[in-house]
Amino acid sequence: MIGRKWRPEVDGMTGQSRDGIGRYLDLFVDAMMLRRLKPFFANLGKRLVKSPKVYVRDSGLLHALLNIQSFDDLLGHPVIGHSWEGFVIEQIVSAMPAFSEINFYRTAAGAELDAVVTTGDRRIGYETRFSQSPKVGKGFWNACEDLGVERAYVVAPVTDPYPLAENVQVIPPAMLFGL
């Protein structure tokens, strides 16, 4: 940044204004290339993360852009968790009942659910993990309690579903369509 005046309204990496970046993001969302997932707002007296999450909707396109050519390449790439999360979010959206909303939930204290689907008064929480034996932390349990979810699912690349706790189940993505 030598010789350039720092301007907070301009992104340092792209040289674009924040408004310009927002317009590009809107364009890609409108073209259905990206999904913008908004945070779940509940009046819980907690500091909530208010920035949206953005996913590339087509994981195959994401992998091609990153030059990931094989499953082995993907397994060794740092984007694997984000790729899995984006894939699962798209599956959840495809399986949601009509007139449902999808958001994510995250507090400054670390309580988090990757997706919260609200249908009327019902809330179902989803967490994604790219692991054959997924573990969830305290933040998952706190988020489930904060939101009073009816059920929660940990979506992982497993072959068979199994219970993790009462009303919490580990499931493969294919089971999202039968819930």
Shortest CA distance to 115 belongs to which of 132, 133, 96, 130?
96
Structure-model confidence comparison of residues 62 and 24, the more confident one: 62
Distances in Å between the Cα of 176 and the Cα atoms of 63, 111, 169 are 23, 23, 12
List % helix, strand, coil for the chain (3-state, nearest 5): 30, 25, 40
Q: Residue range 1-21: average pLDDT?
A: 58
30 pLDDT above the threshold of 80: yes
Q: Residue range 158-176: average pLDDT?
A: 95
Among the ranges given (46-55, 67-76, 112-121, 148-157), the one the predictor scored with the smallest mean pLDDT: 46-55
* Nearby residues of 115 by Cβ (< 8 Å), 6 or more positions away: 37, 88, 89, 92, 102, 103, 104, 125, 126, 128
Inter-residue contact 42 to 20 (CB < 8 Å): no
Residue 15: which pLDDT band, with cuts at 50, 70 and 90? low
Q: Mean pLDDT score of the chain, rounded to an integer?
A: 88
pTM of the entire structure? Answer: 0.85
Residue 22: which pLDDT band, with cuts at 50, 70 and 90? confident
Q: pLDDT over 70 for what percent of the chain?
A: 88
pLDDT at site 156: 97
44 pLDDT above the threshold of 70: no
pLDDT at site 35: 94
Among the ranges given (14-23, 74-83, 134-143), the one the predictor scored with the smallest mean pLDDT: 14-23
Residue 17: which pLDDT band, with cuts at 50, 70 and 90? confident
Residue 138: which pLDDT band, with cuts at 50, 70 and 90? very high
Q: Residue range 143-165: average pLDDT?
A: 95
* Assigned token pair, 48: 């909530």
